[in-house]
Each structure stands twice: as C-alpha cells, then as structure tokens.
C-alpha cells in the first residue's frame, strides 16, 4: 500500500465567524446549544476535508460543555484544525470564543473534539494523510489526541 505524505496542521486550519441573531437564540436570549454544535460540526468538517481533500463524515463528538452563555448580538469565533490522523479517522479540535463587538472583549466558551472519517466516492473509509505537528501546541494536541482516542475506543 502506498504511504501517504504528511501534511502540516496549518493546511487544515479553519476560522469561522458567526453573529448571533434572534433566530439563533432561546427564550433567554442565549445562543442555542444545537446551533453552536451545528457551527462546530461545519468548521470541523471543513478542516477534515481540507486535510484529506475528500468528503469526511462525522463519526463522533466528545463531551461538549457550555462554560459561558453567548448572548444575542455577540460574535462567535470558531477555530478548527486536525489534531491527529488514525489511518482513516481524524480528530479535529474546535475552539469557540465569544466576542462582544462593542468592547472587543473575548472569552473562551467551548472546546470540543470531533472524529471524522474520510470516505471515497462509494462511501467507504479511505486512508488519510498523516498530520505533521510543528509548534509546541500542535505537538501537545497531537499527543493528547492519542489519549482521547484510547478513551473513545474503550467506551465502544
């Protein structure tokens, strides 16, 4: 089998920005959790696809904790990148930050790890390029991804 060349993390990086409008909120004026999850899935899918140059499907999402509410009128910044590749599956990390557009103040609200599988034209899993972490933060996320994968596999 042909060995795939590695790709740097920066090749998969995605930054999405969303403005929270009334249709995105609950009765308290807070961003709906499902809407945020939707945005996170999109950002992560784009990162996975950029890395693999393939269609990638969501296989799992690790626990998602909402640390701070995001209010109507605030801006949501989603940053996603591939942390590690495990043959056909990829772990993508997504960091969510809220921003007050009037003051510029930012606050981290969520982090989640999503697993994607690269597929071919018939919907079958295919091997993905290994990821090559360069910075100390990328190397830490790469190491941590192996631990999270072991935890996911033990819960099957």
- Split into its structural domains, the chain has a count of 1
Is residue 1 in some structural domain?
no
Q: What is the mean pLDDT of the chain?
A: 95
Spatial CA neighbour of 77 closest among 57, 94, 54? 94
Mean pLDDT for 58-78 is 94
Is residue 46 in some structural domain?
yes
Is residue 23 in some structural domain?
yes
Q: Domain range spanning residue 74? A: 7-154
Higher pLDDT, 91 or 63: 91
Is residue 2 in some structural domain?
no
Is residue 103 in some structural domain?
yes
Q: Are 24 and 36 in contact (CB under 8 A)?
A: no
Residue 153 confidence (pLDDT):
82
Q: Are 81 and 132 in contact (CB under 8 A)?
A: no
**Mean pLDDT lowest among 33-47, 87-101, 118-132, 141-155:** 141-155
């Amino acid at each position: 089998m042909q060995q795939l060349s590695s790709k740097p993390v920066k090749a998969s990086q995605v930054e999405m920005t969303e403005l929270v409008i009334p249709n995105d909120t609950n009765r308290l004026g807070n961003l709906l959790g499902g809407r945020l999850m939707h945005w996170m899935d999109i950002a992560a899918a784009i990162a996975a696809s950029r890395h693999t140059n393939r269609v990638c499907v969501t296989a799992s999402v690790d626990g998602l904790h909402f640390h701070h509410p995001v209010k109507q009128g605030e801006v949501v910044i989603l940053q996603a990148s591939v942390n590690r590749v495990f043959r056909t599956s990829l772990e993508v990390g997504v960091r969510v930050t809220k921003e007050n557009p009037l003051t510029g103040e930012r606050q981290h609200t969520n982090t989640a790890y999503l697993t994607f599988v690269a597929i071919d034209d018939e919907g079958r899993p295919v091997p993905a390029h290994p990821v090559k972490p360069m910075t100390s933060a990328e190397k830490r996320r790469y190491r941590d991804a192996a631990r999270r994968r072991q935890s996911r596999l033990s819960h099957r």
